[in-house]
Amino acid sequence: MKLYFNLKKFSMINWIRITKVFSFTALLSLLVLSLQAQEITKMNIKDLESYIQKSEHPLVVNFWATFCVPCVKEIPTFEKIISTYKDKQVELILVSLDLPDSYPAKIENFARDRQFSSSIIWLNETNADYFCPRIDKKWSGGIPSSLFINNRNHFKKFFESELNANQFEENIKKMVE
C-alpha cells in the first residue's frame, strides 16, 4: 500500500511539473508568434486587379519597396492617417515591388522592424511594361506611387510621387465623400 501511495505521489508531482512546463512553453510560443512579422501575401497583377475591382470599401494601394527611401518615409504617416478613418472602412494595402530574392523574409523583417500594421502584398511580377498600365495607363513604374479607389462612388486617382500628409488625407476625404 505504501509503495502505491509513493507512486501516486510521484506521478502527481511529475504531472504538476509537466503542466508547468507545458504552460510555460505555450506562453513562450504565443510570445514568439506575436513578435513574428505579419504574413506577406504573394500576388500576381491579375489577382491584385481582381482584389481592387471587387473591393466594397475604399482602398489606398501604395506601391513601395524596401530600398526606396521616400516610400518607407511616407508609410508611417499613411498608417496613422488611415487609422482615423476606421469608421469609413478605408483600407491601406502596401504592395511591395521588391525583387524576388526579398520575398518573403527580407520584406517581413523590414516591416516588423518598422512596425508596419497594414496588409502587405508582394507583387510577383518583373515586367513593369505589363503590370504598370494595368494599375494606371500613365504609370511609368516610379515609386512611391499610390492608387486611391472607391468602387462605390467610382472615385479613382493615381499618384506617381511621394505624398505628404495633407495630400494623402485630402484624397482620402474626396474618396469617401
The structural domains of the chain, with segments of one domain joined by +, span 1-35, 40-176
Q: Which residues contact residue 64 at a Cβ distance below 8 angstroms, ignoring those fewer than 6 apart?
A: 71, 72, 75, 94, 95, 96, 97, 143, 144
Is the pLDDT at 161 greater than 50? The verdict is yes
Q: Which CATH number fits domain 40-176: 2.60.200.20, 3.40.50.720, 1.10.3720.10, 3.40.30.10?
A: 3.40.30.10
Is the pLDDT at 106 greater than 60? The verdict is yes
pTM for the model stands at 0.80
pLDDT tens-digit readout, 42-81: 999 999 999 999 999 999 999 999 999 999 999 999 999 9
